[in-house]
Structure 1
């Protein structure tokens, strides 16, 4: 993928555009089988100084989410606009922590998939045994499990562990990615979840062959091109076409 930095002159995305992308991300998570009933969350920051962000209405399945059903809240968990929907307290804890600490982040995705959670339970975590995992290795962070994320005191530790990374494994819990756009965060999550699934499959087959150690430094340099313009201009438009075809209605 081609590396790119966000231009300071790039146009600010509108709330309507972000709502559409976020609703599509929920639908795509369901299409890929990454959802967990009504649990786990994807959030997106709305441009502006208020630190408002959008999150799913608690109790809706991911394939039901639409742009208009997303709930707008602030960093204190207060609902900004009238709604009949609840907000998951644990989702608020994790997402508000990242949005408050990282001005560069528009989107945060947190999942509890089988493969991602399985790897989060391994002492080794995500092992750099194949190309996809090696591409993520240089910016992969870990956060130890402290219980269901209801305690706001956990937030400083979570963001300290995340640092400037965009990819995190929540040990004994699940996976998390961030991005400068919904497109970028989703692309990171795709590769993280795929990497975990490949590892689980490989380890179930027998003794794993590790790549040469010197290859990791080469891949670390190559990984700088992961995300960016390719995610936003190539991957995401294709995924929006998929969502429109397989799960229409998310734009409503």
Structure 2
């Protein structure tokens, strides 16, 4: 029996390290694409195993500094279980991420940004517009949550989960963007598409009047977007190769 227990423990430890490595890579990729905000905003991932624990960045490290071992393990109450050096956790980050992890069983990873183009579109009256193929691939996955102030009030978690529903992308009005995935690679892929759609919209609106596709084209693209998360099978190995060439060292 002890051998089986040891094997299970080793398997969970290996699985956790895999998630730690992927999450650390995602942090560095956010920095690479210029979406970070000093030490603010967060990416998180659920720790494999029966406990309700998840990994989040230590409060004070820049995104390009994050490593697998520096990520902080916390429980659903925000209590630090295991810290890799810097043990502080941003309480606002805990509020948002704990809400999603607790409210969505499929939310293995959650990513939230304050990147300027994402914030700009979140503040636009119409939100994300169908101005590009990229945006149209996002629209059917997207929902909205109104701004309530800096996310320090735990009561907001219920409303955030209500607004998120079963969607994989969210505009936090006047605040930023959020994505949810069954894995870190899937979550990052959703994030990339949403941020690219926001960047295109900001540029398009700056150019003057825009051209709108037909309702039929929008609907067709929405139907084609249902497998968007599966693109991670191709995109994630590619961005890891990019990261390994530009900013290696995350897997320590």
**TM-score category of the 2 structures, normalised to the smaller one:** over 0.9
Partner of 1:236: 236
* Distance in 1, Cα, partners of 2:187 & 2:161: 16
Aligned residues: 240
**CA-to-partner distance for each residue in 1:162-203, whole Å, 9 max, x for gaps?**
000000000000000010111011000101000001000000
CA contact (8 A) 2:70 2:86 kept: no
Secondary structure, aligned partner of 2:152: coil
Partner of 1:68: 69
Secondary structure, aligned partner of 1:69: coil
Alpha-carbon offset, residue 128 of structure 1: 1.1
Alpha-carbon offset, residue 226 of structure 1: 0.4
Alpha-carbon offset, residue 21 of structure 1: 0.1
* Distance in 1, Cα, partners of 2:229 & 2:183: 10
Is there any run of 5+ residues in structure 2 with no aligned partner, and where?
A: 1-10
Partner of 1:54: 55
Is there any run of 5+ residues in structure 1 with no aligned partner, and where?
A: 1-10
Partner of 1:128: 130
* Distance in 2, Cα, partners of 1:225 & 1:53: 26
Partner of 1:107: 109
Partner of 1:174: 176
**CA-to-partner distance for each residue in 1:118-148, whole Å, 9 max, x for gaps?**
0011100001121111111112100000000
* Distance in 1, Cα, partners of 2:217 & 2:115: 29
* Distance in 1, Cα, partners of 2:197 & 2:157: 27
Partner of 2:31: 30
Larger displacement relative to structure 2 (235-244 or 90-99)? 235-244
* Distance in 1, Cα, partners of 2:215 & 2:163: 25
Superposition TM-score, scaled by structure 2 size: 0.93
Secondary structure, aligned partner of 1:110: strand
Secondary structure, aligned partner of 2:205: helix
Alpha-carbon offset, residue 149 of structure 1: 0.3
Aligned counterpart for 2:98 among listed residues 80, 96, 99:
96
**CA-to-partner distance for each residue in 1:51-80, whole Å, 9 max, x for gaps?**
100000000000000000000000000001
Secondary structure, aligned partner of 1:214: helix
Alpha-carbon offset, residue 85 of structure 1: 2.0
Alpha-carbon offset, residue 213 of structure 1: 1.1
* Distance in 2, Cα, partners of 1:64 & 1:85: 15
Alpha-carbon offset, residue 49 of structure 1: 2.2
Task: Give the root-mean-square deviation of aligned CA atoms.
Answer: 1.3
Higher relative contact order structure (alpha carbons within 8 Å, sequence separation ≥ 6): 1
Larger displacement relative to structure 2 (213-222 or 82-91)? 82-91
Alpha-carbon offset, residue 84 of structure 1: 4.0
* Distance in 1, Cα, partners of 2:122 & 2:59: 25
Partner of 2:3: none
Secondary structure, aligned partner of 2:147: coil
Secondary structure, aligned partner of 1:43: strand
* Distance in 1, Cα, partners of 2:162 & 2:50: 23
1:247 and 2:247 correspond: yes
Superposition TM-score, scaled by structure 1 size: 0.93
